[in-house]
Amino acid sequence: MPNTLAHLGTQAALTRAGWRRAPLLWAYLGGVLPDLPWILQRLVRTAAPGLDPAQLRLYFVAQASLVGCLVLAGAAAALAQRWRPVLALLAAGAVLHLLLDAIEIKWAHGVLLLAPFDWSQWQLGWFWSESWPGLVWTLLAAVWVAWTWREAWREDPGIVLSLRRLSSSAALIALWLLLPLALMPGAWRGDVHDVRTLREVAQRPGRPVELYRADVHERPGPDLVETLESELLTLEGLEVEGEQEVSIRGRFIDETTIRVDQWFVHPEGWRDLGSYLGLAVVALLWGRVAWRLLVARRRGATSAAARRDP
């Protein structure tokens, strides 16, 4: 994906172009909803490293599909006073996020717009996020976020924390967590992220394979690449130096060897920095909202107690 900061600035600017008074807080939230499954995946893999990584990938791939994003959008919009326009804004933000993701070259990692009816991974694949168009894109988006920061900071998203609203949101979050379990078989059949290709070892020879941002280890002779399941595969035809993060396109010539036809070495640093900055922006803005709600709740409780104890 483009980094989170690029998503925020681009999506909020495009949203304002179509809806001049669109609330920035909700626009920014819509810009990160499709990334939440991948953040959750990192947390789960860190907290429970013994879980099957292939099954986890299928789960979070399904959760990050458009249908999963729409369910999560509903959960967030359920807490908004004007929930209908907020739901439309969040749903549009999820769609726009996935379309922007499709601009980037991400071998084996296209977006899922029609799941569970079609598990084809769609992408335009115009450029790598670390290339100069991605850098320019990020800088322009950062300028837009900085320019509108004061407005976003002062904005009131209109949150309603009634029992009915909280129950509706909780029910949709539960659906968001459970729905991928029903979708995982379809993701497996569709060979999303090449999980099936990598898992069916005996059927590997002759099959094409793509790996995105995999760790390549240099050694005397052919290099080794580490897969999602920490399996080390031999690479033939790859020419990189040292330990690198590399995207690969190739074909299995036997069960443990890939003949590499194309590759891209991902430079370290700025892509992750852009994502961390973007997430920090959303955390700060919505953290302030949460703090204001907490303060208001405490003041309300104090006033109620004072009325009961004259």
The yes-or-no verdict on residue 307 having pLDDT over 70 is no
The yes-or-no verdict on residue 245 having pLDDT over 70 is yes
Quick one: 9 and 79 in the same domain? yes
83/86 Cα distance (integer angstroms): 5
The pLDDT-based confidence of 308 (bands split at 50, 70, 90) is: low
pLDDT tens profile 249-299: 999 999 999 999 999 999 876 678 889 999 999 999 999 999 999 888 777
Residue 167: the pLDDT is 97
The two tokens of residue 73 are 């959008």
Quick one: 127 and 213 in the same domain? no
Quick one: 261 and 282 in the same domain? no
Percent pLDDT > 70 in the chain is: 95
Quick one: 138 and 26 in the same domain? yes
Mean pLDDT (the chain, rounded): 92
- H helices of the chain, in order, are 4-18, 24-32, 36-47, 53-63, 66-77, 83-103, 132-147, 149-154, 163-189, 195-199, 270-308
Quick one: 244 and 283 in the same domain? no
List C-alpha distances in Å: 169 to 72, 75, 157, 160. Answer: 9, 4, 16, 11
270 within a domain of the structure (yes/no): no
Quick one: 217 and 162 in the same domain? no
pLDDT tens profile 132-178: 898 899 999 999 999 999 999 999 999 999 999 999 999 999 999 99
Residues spanned by the domain of 122 = 4-194+276-308
260 pairs with which residues across the strands? 250
271 within a domain of the structure (yes/no): no
Quick one: 68 and 107 in the same domain? yes
pLDDT tens profile 40-92: 999 999 999 889 999 999 999 999 999 999 999 999 999 999 999 999 999 99
247/263 Cα distance (integer angstroms): 5
pLDDT tens profile 5-29: 999 999 999 999 999 899 999 999 9
Instruction: Tell me how far apart the terminal alpha carbons of the chain are, to the nearest angstrom.
Output: 59
Quick one: 211 and 78 in the same domain? no
The two tokens of residue 212 are 């995105």
Q: How many CB atoms lie within 10 A of CB 60?
A: 24
- Cis peptide bond upstream of 310, omega within 30: no
Quick one: 231 and 90 in the same domain? no
Per the CB < 8 A criterion, the answer to whether 107 and 248 are in contact is yes
Q: How many CB atoms lie within 10 A of CB 259?
A: 15
235 pairs with which residues across the strands? 258
Q: How many domains does the chain have?
A: 2
The yes-or-no verdict on residue 128 having pLDDT over 50 is yes
What CATH number is given to the structural domain containing 228?
2.40.50
Quick one: 65 and 99 in the same domain? yes
The yes-or-no verdict on residue 186 having pLDDT over 60 is yes
Quick one: 225 and 121 in the same domain? no
Quick one: 246 and 117 in the same domain? no
